[in-house]
Amino acid sequence: MKRYLPFLIIGAVLVIAAGAGAFMLRSAQPSSNSPAPTPALPSGSPGASSAVATTKGVVTIEEFGDYQCPPCGYLHPTLKKIKGEFGPRVRFIFYHYPLSQVHKNALDAAHAAVAAGLQGKFWEMHNLLYESQKEWSEGNDLHPIAIGFASQLGLDVARFARDMDSAAVDNTVSADVQRANSRGVNATPTIFVDGQMIENEKLTVENLRQQISQKLGVRQ
């Protein structure tokens, strides 16, 4: 019996070690009671997916914006210029982040853009809102102005008016706000290039052009 004792001791040690390893492995894995990660949320802008996937040869620019925010209005021509220069090599996604506490018409403006998007005119309304920001930002009620924009864009105005105040449109904007919060966005404009947040002082045509060109492997 003494002759086999060392082997029995070694066997017992191996069993204990295996059990301890299995316990450590279970502890490192998420518990079944742990909260699930927040799902990716769809955007109000066309072309946005539930998760931003990188596509070879295409750079994704995401903007979290507020249509009544003056800095967003100032940035708008810069982003339009970048769109014009790079065309299909750049994918733009806009997420609504209306700062309603300081911009009284921002939420209605976001609703107007989403409602226009339901009729295939998101970017057209998006551009109109930014480019006429000074005309409507201090008004008491955006609705008549937004309806005028809808008519100008050839939309079904009655449907647009209904959609603008609908729960579905409000849910879309709320989903964008949730996405912003989950990504640490707390101001507008906030820009991400292929998932990397860009500092506000670097939001110039020259810097954005350089960053996009580098990601595309294009020499300037």
Domain ranges of the chain: 59-216
Topology of domain 59-216, CATH:
Glutaredoxin (3.40.30)
Residue 98 has pLDDT above 50, yes or no: yes
For a pLDDT cut of 70, what percent of the chain falls above it?
73
pLDDT of residue 220: 56
Phi-psi region of 72 (alpha: psi -120 to 50; beta: other; left: phi over 0): alpha
pLDDT tens profile 161-180: 999 999 999 999 999 999 99
Distance set, CA 130 to CA 25, 44, 51, 157 (Å)? 53, 16, 26, 20
Encoded amino acid at 170, one letter: D
Length, in residues, of the chain? 220
> What mean pLDDT value characterizes the chain?
81
pLDDT tens profile 50-79: 445 456 689 999 999 999 999 999 999 999
Asked whether 96 and 114 are in contact (CB, 8 A), the reply is: yes
> Does 126 or 22 have the greater pLDDT score?
126
Report the 3 state secondary structure along the chain.
CHHHHHHHHHHHHHHHHHHHHHHHHHHHCCCCCCCCCCCCCCCCCCCCCCCCCCECCEEEEEEEECCCCHHHHHHHHHHHHHHHHHHHHEEEEEEECCCCCCCCCHHHHHHHHHHHHCCCCHHHHHHHHHHCHHHHCCCCCCHHHHHHHHHHCCCCHHHHHHHHCCHHHHHHHHHHHHHHHHCCCCCCCEEEECCEEECHHHCCHHHHHHHHHHHHCCCC
Phi, psi (5° rounding) for residue 168?
A: -60, -45
pLDDT band of residue 219 (cuts 50, 70, 90) is low
Burial of 95 (0-12, 13-18, 19+ CB in 10 A): buried
Pairing outcome for strands 196-198 and 59-65: unpaired
How large is the average pLDDT for residues 192-215? 93
pLDDT of residue 57: 86
> The pTM is what?
0.76
